[in-house]
Amino acid sequence: MERPTGSFYAPSPFGQNIEQNRTSISSSLSSSITAPRYRSVLRLIESRFHVLFPDINRANKATARLAALSEDMRILSLNAELLAGRSGRSGAAVRALTQYTRGLVRRLMDINDSVTGLRTLYGMSTATLRCLRYLRQIESTSALLGSALQDGRGRSAAIALERARQGYMTEMMSDIHGLTDGMHRLRTMIQVVDDIVAQAGSIATNIAAEAVSAQTHENDFTAVANAMRRYVEELRSMNDETARGLRGATEACDSMREIAVTLERQFRTRTII
Q: How far is CA 270 from CA 28, 35, 227, in A?
A: 7, 11, 63
> What confidence tier does 35 reach under pLDDT thresholds 50, 70, 90?
low
Q: What DSSP state is assigned to residue 259? A: H
> What confidence tier does 74 reach under pLDDT thresholds 50, 70, 90?
very high
Task: Tell me which of 10-19, 51-60, 91-100 is least confident.
Answer: 10-19
| 215 pLDDT more than 50 | yes
| 235 pLDDT more than 90 | yes
Question: Cβ(66)–Cβ(115) under 8 Å?
Answer: yes
Q: How far apart are CA 110 and CA 2, in angstroms?
A: 25
Q: How far is CA 20 from CA 25, 107, 156, 175, in A?
A: 9, 57, 13, 31
Q: How far apart are CA 238 and CA 210, in angstroms?
A: 28
Of the candidates 173, 136, 154, the one whose C-alpha atom is nearest the C-alpha of residue 33 is 136
Average pLDDT over residues 39-45: 80
Other CB atoms within 10 A of residue 126 CB: 12
Of the candidates 188, 200, 195, the one whose C-alpha atom is nearest the C-alpha of residue 225 is 200
| 101 pLDDT more than 80 | yes
| 69 pLDDT more than 60 | yes
Residue type, 95: R
Q: How far apart are CA 72 and CA 193, in angstroms?
A: 16
Q: DSSP letters of 107-153?
A: HHHHHHHHHTHHHHHHHHHHHHHHHHHHHHHHHHHHHHHGGGGGSGG
pLDDT in tens, 119-176: 677 777 788 888 888 888 888 887 777 666 566 566 777 778 888 888 888 888 888 8
Q: How far apart are CA 48 and CA 28, in angstroms?
A: 28
- Look at 138 and 36; give whichever has higher pLDDT: 138
Q: What value, to the nearest 5°, has the Cα angle with vertex 110 and ends 118 and 182?
A: 30
| 2 pLDDT more than 60 | no
How close are the terminal C-alpha atoms of the chain, in Å? 27
- Look at 161 and 220; give whichever has higher pLDDT: 220
pLDDT in tens, 174-205: 888 888 888 888 888 889 999 999 999 999 99
| 34 pLDDT more than 80 | no
Quote the mean pLDDT of the chain: 78
Output the pLDDT for position 178: 86
- Look at 84 and 214; give whichever has higher pLDDT: 84
Average pLDDT over residues 230-255: 91
Q: How far apart are CA 177 and CA 167, in angstroms?
A: 16
Output the pLDDT for position 148: 62
Task: Tell me which of 32-41, 92-101, 162-171, 260-269 is least confident.
Answer: 32-41
Output the pLDDT for position 6: 36
Output the pLDDT for position 241: 92
SS3 labels along 66-91: HHHHHHHHHHHHHHHHHHHHHCHHHH
Give the contacts of 60 (CB within 8 A, at least 6 positions apart).
118, 119, 122, 245
The top-scoring range by mean pLDDT among 15-19, 99-103, 138-142, 211-215 is: 99-103
